């Protein structure tokens, strides 16, 4: 087999760990165009969260040969379901937020996504609805914010155009890097998945309420800030076990004191 064919097979295997997640897409044509953009750049994993008017003949028409990506797309009821087994999540948005996330341009984000996918992590890149973009609650599930530089007087990008830019950078970085590069050093344990993080945040909220550190009637930004803090840490599975064990130990101490 030619060296180039071997390279392409390695690229495809690594890129299969990166999924594109479209949240509440309004126009089915954008779904088809996104599938086409993905296939041209070697990505196949498409997740759709509550899409409107889908399945659709318009989506199939605009997929233009990427019917396999479209037919294999997984439709989910919630963003949490779409991210359940992901350990790294990137939100794509042009809007700045009150609680900022680490912000990356597409090329830098692509380098990180490729490196993470090569070491076996499931990576998600998330796009919001056409009209309003990603919500704050959606970004709370993300580790980084990806912003596409554009004319400050006119930053509007069609959804499928934004997808094309991101997947282009992913493919170009992956294809241009030697498959022999070492990307597993310093990461002996898999990162915690989105499902792991969700369970941890629920556990953390329980303990914060039990210790009277959090008033459930007036949480303000405390929980969101906690999520941003732990998302920046990106704990691995062993670290998550330590954190959950720590919370459980606190709860046991509370129970003992309440029964004394």
Q: Which helix (H) or strand (E) holds 251?
A: helix 237-258
Full-model pTM: 0.78
Domain with CATH 1.10.8.590 in the chain: 194-258
- Write the DSSP symbol of residue 157: -
- Write the DSSP symbol of residue 193: P
Place of tokens 């004319």: 151
The whole-number average pLDDT for the span 27-37 is 97
Distance, CA of 237 to CA of 122 (rounded, Å): 14
Give the pLDDT band (50/70/90) at residue 175: confident
Label residues 65-81 b or e (16+ Cβ within 10 Å = b). Answer: ebeebbeebeebeebee
Distance, CA of 141 to CA of 228 (rounded, Å): 8
| Cβ neighbours around 132 below 10 Å, total | 11
Distance, CA of 127 to CA of 133 (rounded, Å): 7
CATH code of domain 194-258: 1.10.8.590
Distance, CA of 214 to CA of 225 (rounded, Å): 13
Q: What is the pLDDT at residue 7?
A: 43
Fold category of 3-176 in CATH: Alpha/beta knot (3.40.1280)
Does the pLDDT of residue 178 top 60, yes or no?
Answer: no
User: In this structure, what token pair is assigned to residue 45?
Assistant: 């994993």
The whole-number average pLDDT for the span 36-50 is 96
Q: What is the pLDDT at residue 177?
A: 56
The whole-number average pLDDT for the span 143-157 is 90
Q: What is the pLDDT at residue 48?
A: 98
Q: What is the pLDDT of residues 107-124, one digit of tens each?
A: 999 999 999 999 999 999
Q: What is the pLDDT at residue 32?
A: 97
Neighbour-count burial of 151, counting CB atoms closer than 10 A to its CB (0-12 exposed, 13-18 middle, 19+ buried) = exposed
Distance, CA of 27 to CA of 160 (rounded, Å): 11
Domain with CATH 3.40.1280.10 in the chain: 3-176
The answer to whether residues 163 and 38 touch, using CB atoms and an 8 Å cutoff, is yes
Nearest Cα neighbor of 194 from 76, 78, 86, 119 is 86
């Amino acid at each position: 087999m030619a060296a180039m064919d071997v390279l392409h097979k390695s690229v495809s295997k690594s890129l299969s760990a990166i999924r594109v997640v479209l949240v509440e897409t309004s126009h089915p044509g954008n779904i088809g165009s996104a599938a086409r953009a993905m296939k041209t750049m070697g990505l196949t994993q498409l997740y759709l969260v509550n899409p409107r008017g889908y399945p659709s003949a318009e989506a199939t028409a605009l997929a233009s040969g990427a019917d396999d990506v479209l037919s294999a797309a997984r439709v989910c009821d919630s963003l949490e379901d779409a991210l359940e087994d992901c350990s790294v999540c990137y939100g794509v948005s042009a809007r700045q937020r009150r609680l900022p996330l680490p912000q990356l341009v597409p090329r830098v984000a692509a380098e990180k996504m490729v490196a993470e996918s090569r070491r076996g992590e499931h990576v998600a890149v998330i796009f919001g609805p056409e009209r309003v973009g990603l919500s704050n609650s959606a970004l709370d599930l993300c580790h980084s914010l990806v912003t596409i530089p554009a004319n400050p007087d006119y930053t509007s990008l069609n959804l499928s155009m934004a997808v094309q830019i991101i997947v282009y950078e992913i493919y170009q970085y992956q294809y241009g890097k030697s498959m022999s590069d070492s990307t597993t050093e310093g990461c002996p344990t898999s990162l915690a998945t989105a499902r792991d993080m969700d369970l941890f945040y629920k556990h953390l909220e329980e303990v914060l309420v039990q210790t009277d550190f959090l008033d459930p009637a007036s949480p303000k930004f405390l929980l969101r800030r906690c999520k941003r803090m732990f998302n920046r840490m990106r704990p691995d599975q062993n670290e998550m076990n330590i954190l959950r064990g720590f919370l459980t130990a606190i709860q046991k101490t509370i129970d003992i004191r309440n029964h004394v």
